[in-house]
Amino acid sequence: MPKRPPSSPGRVREPVQVYLEADDSTLLARLAAGTGLSKAEVMRRGMRAFAREQNVESPMLRFVAENASGDWPAGVATDHDAVLAESYTGRRGKRR
């Protein structure tokens, strides 16, 4: 029995089930076939484009933009989980 290749380290994905009308399903299939992307990637890109249209940004992209000057928060190298959590929630967790 062939083994599945190991999943990419650091990539956690959440399965989502979506019901589409026939026309939308056909459109998704055409977009995927025409671009060479998976249907999932087409949907991810569409969701991100819709978020930009609605002026909703990813907390990670906001964090990167806020720190583009290189003025990183203190302790980012050693306490990166807490620094990233703060960028998502707006408050810093306990430091160890």
Domain boundaries along the sequence of the chain: 17-56, 58-96
DSSP string, 5-60: PPPPTT-----------HHHHHHHHHHHHHHT--HHHHHHHHHHHHHHHTT---HH
This prediction has a pTM of 0.53
- Quote the pLDDT of residue 10: 62
Instruction: Give per-residue pLDDT as tens, 50-78.
Output: 888 888 777 777 777 777 777 777 777 78
Supply the mean pLDDT for the chain: 80
CATH of domain 17-56: 1.10.1220
Q: Which one is predicted more confidently, 12 or 32?
A: 32
CA distance 87 to 91: 7
List, in order, residues 6 or more apart from 88 with CB less than 8 Å away.
Answer: 59
